[in-house]
């Protein structure tokens, strides 16, 4: 499976890119060498790279993470040119050009913008350019914010129809506990049953400059795997890690791909931020879960939050169990006036996702 992967997305975290005086030039040079080896072998590679905020922090002589969103945006604006300059210099040795691609959640949840971004990636790969992707922190606000580059890498993998996602981190894979504080922590070599993984593992640790931790890596890996994309979480400092993975060597943690989640369902589940919640009665729950019907407004017994027609909402049972997520056919003030609340085609049931192994 890994040997057959032609299009590969590689995510690199801030901790790997951090050097004593700013960005770690040696690491970026080694990363570019491995990417070039993969490209020589006929692979296509897209990099999802953190590091802009880190570069801004170092450029301005700070020794802490930004305190506010506006400060993070400012530091990202300072650091992004430094980050791209490092990648450009590293790849220039091989005569390869790199391209900066900055995305927000809105670019991915809007079908038109999603297709535009997809076409841009296809054109760049056809031109033999290496895309370097980052979240567009400078303009991101809460509504259009993805939040971390682990999840961004999963979304990019779906966007470009990747054959493999590799998430490089400072740990050598996914462990059941934080290996830096627990000497008995065990590596999880393969993930097939996600419920079992989430039961036995603690993913609470975070890094100094990164926005996520192991939890966001697992979250991102599960999203991509549910779309049918195999994912490897591995140590970025291991020798020739990308080349070894591409040759099928057992490195890090492999998340096995599941049955493909449809594109619309993926977008509703993972890209559309819920604007509200509704709680439905037992009759409506049986109709949507067991009979696969649309959700009628008369089954909605309680509404929380304010939303408009076309917004995503979460649907719960009266006991508080999350049933699914869908696109509302009316606003929160109009539920009682309308007959149909969520059409079946725009409703993703969690039970379906779990039962089908996606």
The pLDDT score that the predictor gives to residue 210 is 42
The pLDDT score that the predictor gives to residue 59 is 86
**Stronger pLDDT, 177 or 76, i.e. the higher one:** 76
How sure is the predictor about 152, in pLDDT bands with cuts at 50, 70 and 90?
very high
Average pLDDT in the 215-238 region? 92
The pLDDT score that the predictor gives to residue 147 is 62
Q: What percent of the chain stands above pLDDT 70?
A: 92
Residue 195 pLDDT > 80, yes or no? Answer: no
Q: What is the pLDDT of residues 61-75, one digit of tens each?
A: 887 777 787 888 888
How sure is the predictor about 354, in pLDDT bands with cuts at 50, 70 and 90?
low
Query: What contacts 24+ positions apart, CB below 8 Å, involve 308-314?
Result: 308/275, 308/332, 309/334, 311/272, 311/274, 311/275, 311/276, 312/268, 312/272, 312/273, 312/274, 312/275, 313/274, 313/275, 313/276, 313/277, 313/278, 313/342, 314/274, 314/276, 314/277, 314/278
How sure is the predictor about 358, in pLDDT bands with cuts at 50, 70 and 90?
very low
Domain spans of the chain? 7-264, 272-355
Pairing of strands 231-235, 164-169: parallel
Q: What is the pLDDT of residues 285-324, one digit of tens each?
A: 999 999 999 999 999 999 999 999 999 999 999 999 999 9
CATH number of 7-264, picked from 3.40.1160.10, 3.30.930.10, 3.40.50.300, 1.10.260.40: 3.40.1160.10
Residue 245 pLDDT > 50, yes or no? Answer: yes
The rounded Cα 150 to chain-centroid distance in angstroms is 5
What's the CATH fold of domain 272-355? 2.30.130
The pLDDT score that the predictor gives to residue 353 is 67
Q: What is the pLDDT of residues 253-291, one digit of tens each?
A: 999 998 778 888 888 988 888 999 999 999 999 999 999
Cα gap 42→121, rounded to integer Å? 17
Same fold: 7-264 with 272-355:
no
Residue 31 pLDDT > 70, yes or no? Answer: yes
Beginning with the edge strand found earlier in the chain, give each strand of the sheet holding 130-135 in spatial order: 98-103, 130-135, 44-49, 7-12, 164-169, 231-235, 253-255, 190-191
The pLDDT score that the predictor gives to residue 146 is 60
Cα gap 198→201, rounded to integer Å? 6
pTM assigned to the model: 0.86
The pLDDT score that the predictor gives to residue 140 is 53
C-alpha pair distances (Å), 273 with each of 93, 276, 278, 326: 42, 9, 15, 11
Please list, residue by residue across 177-208, b when 16 or more beta carbons sit within 10 angstroms of its beta carbon and e when fewer do: bbbeeeeebeebeebeebeebeeebebebebe
């Amino acid at each position: 499976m890994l040997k057959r992967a032609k299009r590969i997305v590689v995510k690199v975290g801030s901790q790997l890119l951090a050097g004593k005086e700013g960005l770690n030039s040696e690491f970026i040079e080694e990363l570019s060498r491995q990417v070039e080896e993969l490209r020589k072998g006929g692979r296509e590679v897209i990099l999802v790279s953190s590091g802009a905020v880190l570069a801004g922090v170092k450029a301005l002589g700070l020794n802490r993470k930004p305190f506010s969103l506006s400060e993070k945006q400012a530091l990202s604006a300072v650091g992004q040119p430094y980050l791209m300059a490092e990648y450009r210099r590293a790849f220039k040795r091989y005569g390869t050009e790199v391209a900066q691609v900055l995305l927000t959640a809105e670019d991915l949840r809007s079908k038109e913008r999603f297709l535009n971004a997809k076409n841009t990636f296809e054109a760049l790969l056809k031109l033999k350019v290496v895309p370097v992707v980052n979240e567009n922190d400078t303009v991101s606000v809460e509504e259009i914010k993805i939040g971390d580059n682990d999840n961004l890498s999963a979304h990019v993998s779906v966007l470009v129809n990747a054959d493999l996602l590799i998430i490089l981190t400072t740990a050598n894979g996914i462990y059941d506990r934080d290996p830096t504080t627990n000497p008995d922590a065990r590596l999880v070599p393969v993930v097939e049953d996600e419920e079992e993984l989430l039961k036995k593992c603690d993913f609470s640790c975070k890094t100094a400059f990164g926005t996520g931790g192991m939890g966001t890596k697992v979250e991102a890996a599960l999203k991509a795997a549910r779309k049918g994309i195999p994912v490897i979480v591995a140590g970025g400092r291991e020798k020739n890690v990308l080349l070894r993975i591409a040759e099928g060597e057992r490195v890090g943690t492999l998340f096995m791909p599941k049955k493909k989640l449809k594109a619309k369902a993926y977008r509703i589940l993972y890209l559309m931020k819920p604007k509200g919640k509704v709680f439905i009665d037992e009759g409506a729950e049986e109709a949507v879960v067991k009979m696969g019907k649309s959700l009628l407004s008369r089954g909605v017994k309680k509404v929380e939050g304010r939303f408009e027609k076309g917004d995503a909402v979460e649907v719960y049972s009266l006991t508080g169990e999350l049933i699914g997520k869908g696109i509302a056919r009316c606003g929160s003030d109009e539920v009682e006036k309308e007959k149909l609340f969520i059409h079946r085609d725009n409703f993703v049931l969690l039970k379906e996702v779990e039962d089908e192994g996606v």
